[in-house]
Chains A and B, each alone.
Chain A
Amino acid sequence: MTSSSSRFLVTILLSMTTLRGDAKQFELPPLPYGYDALEPMISANTLTYHHDKHHAKYVNTMNSMIKGQSELESMETIEEILVHAHEQGNTGLFNNAAQSWNHEFYWNCMTPPSKSSSISEPPKNSQLSKMIQQSFGSYEEFVTQFTTAGNTAFGSGWAWLCYSIPQQKLIVTKTIGAGTPLTENSSSKAKVVIPILTMDVWEHAYYLDYQNARPTYTQTFLTKLVNWDFVGRNLKEAIEVGKDEL
């Protein structure tokens, strides 16, 4: 990894709060907002189960799998652990580490919705807005691709908006289970893809509020709940890393 890649990891992590305690165990980060902050789009009931049960379990299980393993305990970040687990074919550790990372990223991708009925979008003329236009042709096309990715991830999975370093543009991808684009950046190679936005489409993310109506959830997520400031900062960092890599 180049030093700027390390800097990227640190920057992302400072805006996320998972920290190593003295016990070399990761802590479950709190939500960046109250449990009822995303109402009525996502209920407090959902967030309570999703964060306090699902996310907590992934972190606890990852911690139990790391405990006493000096190589893993010396890794600073969950990203390092999940990439290592992926390369080692350690599915159990990968699933729990990746889900720990994915969920923390997901919470930070959301922010309390505005009271107005208008659609929430990146600020006009922002770097992010322009990059979306360049990459997809129009904002509507981005919305279509991203929601389609979420709607068609069969079973449990995630939709992602990533910055592709080789293509120098944004791309939409989807992953299954605990899958994450981070595994495309093997620890021995340069970074190729940097996630800037994710949406959880495991049924537990939306079932209490939307039941089978996943498309309603994905549409609502993308038009009402996204923290475009966070996404914009992720893009800015990703472009910097990209410049260093090329």
Chain B
Amino acid sequence: SAWSSLNMKAETGTTSRRNFGAAIAAGAAALVGAPDNAKAYDLPDLPYAFEALEPYIDTPTMKIHHDKHHATYVANINKATEGKDEVPILALQADAIEAGKPVRNNAGGHYNHAFFWQEMAPADEAAKMKPSAQLAELIDKSFGSMDEMKSQFEAAAAPGAVFGSGWVWVCVNQAGDELKIVGTPNQDNPLMKGVADEIMFPILGLDVWEHAYYLKYQNRRPEYVSNWWNVVNWDKISENCAYVVENHAGVSV
């Protein structure tokens, strides 16, 4: 519907987005009949068409990944938080493990995927982007070079490193002065207490669950990972970096 595309374009710092959406929904209800019960969390639209990341991520994968997998996490976190005070999905991350599996798996799943879509862009746009001066400096300081960072990231994303389902992240550390690469299992992420050595703030992350790549790449996860750099939105990654360094907090989605 028209108002959901307005919803989707909102900036970071989106605590207000839900209220905006709810207000519009209430207005729209007068026109289109009763909406669904207002849920705490919405499935955000992709910032691009399903085919936009071809040939590096195929259209059917984007469609199923977003419309089925991510949608299921949203439905499940809504169910798991029914009757509770509504908070942004970011706020559920820190204590997600303590909150138990339904929250851990689905708050993690919703946040991770919402974060993921925003980090990517069509390859021709991505090709024109590069890290900001701040991000480039952090990369060089932490890894030596961008190439070295990519190499370490790809090693951390290998099937032997993240065995089974999980994600690989580049994060700003607690001190805010270095980037770290960390792999996490299932839908965990470094914002969750107890997952990494310390809570860290992702600026870039890659889904290596098989559903993220199997239709096109099958067992060839390394090829998926090395191709993925072609669609990384370095403008957004740079924004993420500036935000987490300044605010000592995770990126909102």
Contact = CB atoms under 8 A, between A and B. Distances in A.
A177 B161 CA distance: 13
Contacts of B68: 211-212
Interface string B53-70: 000000000001000110
A210 to B, nearest CB: 11
B160 A202 contact: no
B210 interface: yes
A204 interface: yes
A95 B164 CA distance: 10
A95 B101 contact: no
Nearest to B65: A212
Contacts of B64: 211-212
A95 B214 CA distance: 21
B214 A207 contact: yes
B72 interface: yes
B163 A212 contact: no
A75 interface: no
Interface stretch (A3-11, A49-57, A180-188, A238-246): A49-57
Given A176-B164, A212-B64, A212-B69, A203 B185 contact: no
Contacts of A137: none
A207 B65 CA distance: 12
A207 B210 contact: yes
A49, A54, A176, A203 — most chain B CB neighbours (10 Å): A203
B59 to A, nearest CB: 13
A156 B208 CA distance: 12
Given A154-B105, A155-B185, A202-B210, A207 B164 contact: no
A155 B165 contact: yes
A49 B219 contact: yes
A155 B166 CA distance: 8
B219 A203 contact: no
B215 A208 contact: yes
Interface band, chain A: 20 to 34
Nearest to B218: A49
A178 interface: yes
A123 interface: no
A177 B211 contact: no
Interface in A198-225: 202-204, 207-208, 211-212
Contacts of A207: 210-211, 214-215
Interface residues of B, number: 21
Interface string B205-247: 0000111001100110000000000000000000000000000
Interface string A33-76: 00000000000000001000110010001000000000000000
B219 A54 contact: yes
Given A57-B219, A155-B186, A208 B214 contact: yes
A175 to B, nearest CB: 11
A47 B214 CA distance: 14
A30 interface: no
Contacts of A178: 163-164
A156 B187 CA distance: 12
Contacts of B165: 155-156, 203
A54 B160 CA distance: 12
Nearest to B61: A211
A166 interface: no
Given A49-B218, A53-B219, A154-B101, A204 B163 contact: no
Interface string B177-188: 000000001110
A154 B165 CA distance: 9
Given A207-B210, A212-B64, A212-B69, A202 B105 contact: no
A130 to B, nearest CB: 35
16 contacts: A53-B218, A53-B219, A61-B160, A95-B163, A154-B105, A154-B186, A154-B187, A155-B186, A156-B164, A156-B210, A177-B163, A177-B164, A178-B163, A207-B210, A211-B215, A212-B69
* A-B complex: 8 closest residue pairs judged by Cβ atoms: A156-B164, A155-B165, A203-B210, A212-B68, A53-B219, A155-B186, A207-B214, A177-B164
Interface of A: 49, 53-54, 57, 61, 92, 95, 154-157, 176-178, 202-204, 207-208, 211-212
Given A202-B210, A203-B214, 9 more contacts: A57-B219, A154-B187, A176-B164, A177-B163, A204-B210, A204-B219, A208-B214, A208-B215, A211-B211
